[in-house]
Chains A and B, each alone.
Chain A
Amino acid sequence: MRKMNFAQAINEGIKNEMRRDPNVFLMGEDVKFGVFGVTAGLIDEFGEERVRDTPITEEAIAGGAVGAAAAGSRPIAEIMFIDFITVAMDQIVNQAAKMRYMFGGKIKLPITFRTMAGAGISAAAQHSQSLEAWFTHVPGLKVVFPATPKDALGLIISSIRDDNPVLFIEHKLLYATEGEVPDENEPIPLGVADVKRPGKDVTIVATGFMVHKALQAAEELSKEGVEAEVVDPRTLFPLDKETIYNSIKKTHKVVLVTEEVKRGAWSGELAADIAEEVFDSLKAPVKRIGALNSPVPFSPPLEKYYVPNEVDIINAVKSIV
């Protein structure tokens, strides 16, 4: 085992794939330095041809990746903040996601769109959003959302190797978190959830940074004799429903925790799936926790109020156990 932080793990995974496959290249705004240091140093090994600083031009970054992939490359395109992906939506939603289908399966688009999401640093309404649901809604895209350095490393490798467009979402509060990763750079397959904490009384499905909030809540609940099982789907699509459902069949209760604005959230889709597919296993209503239905506020106390926290999770669990 090695120790590294989340940002280093992504860097390591990209490096691994760039060494392995000369068709892999990286482009984005200031990737030479990396605004949060994630891609720092890659240029030293791979040079400016394969580690490309682009102008500020998100649509051309995303669309450029589509074209490059269609022509035989395996691009990693960075959109610095997920909020800026709005500028590149046509290329991701109408082009990347649909080309293979529209062309009758005669093309493949191995693209990794890397982007950073989440609140927590007073970056305000245009630099803090959690927009994953927009992308799981679009057939043709895969959506990956790791919570630990180990998962980030294994999943970035799989995302790059995947022959489909993958949106790889990095929560900005995770970059500095340390964790153990295997000595070998091994891929973790997309579509496999991870039980981050076993438990028998209630299932908490949490994503991204909320996995850590859920684990904290679970520790608190444990002191009161409630053992929560924390399941991290790791990829939002494809989704490992089996692991989630198996947990629910054991605990009969479930709380879904995501940082998204609650209205229209990815967690709503999962709640609907649970209701449709394993309703008989439930002994209490599905509980869903998300951010308030508001833009992300700047002021620290408001941002704190906006984002879900351990107390919200604990209260939700207590309301059903």
Chain B
Amino acid sequence: MEIPKETLLTMYERMVRIRKFEEKASELFAKGKLPGFIHLYIGEEATGVGVCAALREDDLITSTHRGHGNVIAKGGEPKYMMAELYGKVTGYCKGKGGSMHIADAEKGILGANGIVGAGLPIATGAALSAKLRKSGQVVACFFGDGASNEGTFHESINMGSLWKLPIVYVCENNQYGEFTSQKRHQVITDISQRATAYGIPGVTVDGMDVLAVYEAAVEAVKRAREGNGPTLLECKTYRFHGHFEGDPQLYRDKSEVEEWMAKDPIPMFGKQLLGNGVATEEELKEIQNRIQQEIDDAVKFAEDSPYPEDNETVKDIYTDLVEEGRVR
């Protein structure tokens, strides 16, 4: 597949943006600067970026509790994300949602989600709407290996296949649901096998190889856009950090983590770009430096921003009503 240089460099840039955003979030969390808990995407960059690179700007995605990567892959901006992680009013959700609920309707990001498996029916409904409105949009629905055991997975894919909806179900199989390895939560290894049960194509790709993900996604998106229905695309990947920051990770061996870290998708893609002459060392370095600056600026933006006013609590619940605030 001939991929334009611009596309390749955008993909590289987005992967770097995710990595640096997440590394910064990890550092800030450890310093106690971020409230709540955060689930980081480090190691999984190739899946979100590979899939989103195959989408149009007006296409839609749904994401999960581990959503920062998907959001950036679809064009989300670090400064508004970082402000959201801080709970500041300048964040994507005015500080009301936090890490697990980042959304940007203008960029087609229908939200991260705190409920495992909840994105599947939502994405299916969005695809139904695209079909009804004849908008030509495709939906990419991200979810984990753990989520594939929720009823919503089965119910949604059945509906999507029955109605030939323009959707790609993207399973980011990082081998664990929380502290439970895939081996301990299902007997199959390839989740894509489940596609057979719903009469749609099931594809498994190396989720550490962004080009492999991209090529499979292009195929699946084309199929969806042409009205031929969903694909179940499984990307085998790995999260380098714990389930959440602070997770002691008693359930996996260091050696296993190291094995996967040796397949780090970003240096691997960098090497490919250098190898086939798409980019020079300097160009890649420039991207890394620029993104680092962007992330540092995002932190500054977040720290300089104010918290929301108390009465924000009771706004945005309805379009036309405001609930009563507290009398203290």
Contact = CB atoms under 8 A, between A and B. Distances in A.
Contacts of A30: 178-180
Contacts of B317: 293-295
Contact of B314 (A83, A123, A293): A293
B185 A55 contact: yes
A30 B248 CA distance: 14
Interface in B218-257: 250-251
Contacts of B312: 297, 302
Contacts of A219: none
A155 to B, nearest CB: 28
Secondary structure at the A interface, as helix, strand, loop or mixed, is loop
Contacts of B36: 121-124, 298
Contacts of B307: 299-302
Contacts of B146: 55-56
Interface in A270-299: 292-295, 297-299
Given A30-B178, A35-B178, A292 B87 contact: no
A176 B250 CA distance: 21
A101 to B, nearest CB: 26
B86 to A, nearest CB: 8
Contacts, number: 132
Contacts of B93: 298
Interface residues of A, number: 38
B96 A297 contact: yes
Interface stretch (B16-24, B109-117, B162-170): B109-117
B210 interface: no
A87 interface: yes
Interface in B157-212: 177-180, 184-186
B310 interface: yes
A312 interface: yes
A7 B177 CA distance: 23
Interface of A: 29-30, 32-33, 35, 53, 55-60, 83-84, 86-87, 121-127, 292-295, 297-302, 305-306, 311-312, 315
29 contacts: A29-B178, A30-B178, A30-B179, A33-B250, A53-B184, A55-B185, A55-B186, A57-B149, A59-B151, A121-B36, A122-B36, A122-B98, A126-B101, A126-B114, A294-B314, A297-B313, A298-B36, A298-B87, A298-B93, A298-B96, A298-B97, A298-B98, A299-B35, A299-B88, A299-B307, A299-B308, A300-B87, A302-B87, A311-B328
